[in-house]
Amino acid sequence: MAGFSRSTSLGYAVQPTHVWRRWVRFIAVLAAVAVVGVMGSVRIAFAADGPPTLVSDQADYPPGGTVVLSGANWAAGEQVHIVVNDDAGQTWSLSSGANGAPADPVAGADGAISYTFQLPAWFVANYTATASGASGTASVTFTDSAVKTFDQCANDTGNGALPNRGCRT
């Protein structure tokens, strides 16, 4: 047999010849390919299409409205902390998972997050929501405008008499 020599007591024994070296090289190359393959798949699993994002489902909400924030490009399984604060005096704030606020969202396998909460009914302001995690930080702004009461006759030029009666009677 090539690469082997006869031993006097144990039968055939492996000698450090070119066959042995080939096997060692083959195993080393296989291990290197496996390591590179695993590293490549891990990188692909966490690769994002850019920095993390955060958006709100509306630009303006009524006081007490339900806000739905969503984001993308977070690492799969990443816990993301949300902070919402009013820009006027900072008299109202929300921190995910604290003081009864919904818990921190966790990014899905696709890197998406979603977070829903209620605005206060007594406050009108501009808000900034900031999401922070290991992948980075993203922010979005929105408002809660006061609910307006509209007077149907506010622009009526009618005097209540015929022929231009209008709505003032």
Three-state SS annotation for 56-109: ECCCEECCCCEEEEEECCCCCCCECEEEEEECCCCCCEEECCCCCCCCCCECCC
Are 70 and 114 a contacting pair, CB within 8 Å? yes
Question: What is the phi-psi region of residue 122: left when phi exceeds 0, alpha when psi lies from -120 to 50, beta otherwise?
Answer: alpha
CA distances from 164 to 130, 152, 156, 157, 160 (A): 55, 16, 10, 8, 7
Q: What is the pLDDT of residue 90?
A: 78
State CA 30 to chain mean position distance.
37
Query: pLDDT tens digits for the chain (169 residues)?
Result: 455 455 555 555 555 566 667 766 777 677 766 666 555 544 444 445 899 999 999 999 998 999 999 999 999 999 999 999 988 777 889 999 999 999 999 999 999 999 999 998 887 789 999 999 999 999 999 998 876 655 666 666 666 566 666 665 5
Q: What is the pLDDT of residue 75?
A: 97
Partners of 114 in the beta sheet?
A: 70
**18: CB partners within 8 A, 6+ apart:** 3
Q: How many residues does the chain have?
A: 169
Fold of domain 55-144: Immunoglobulin-like (2.60.40)
Partners of 5 in the beta sheet?
A: 13
For residue 67, give the nearest of 87, 91, 88, 94 by alpha carbon.
94
Q: What is the pLDDT of residue 41?
A: 47
Model-level pTM? Answer: 0.61
Q: What is the pLDDT of residue 131?
A: 98
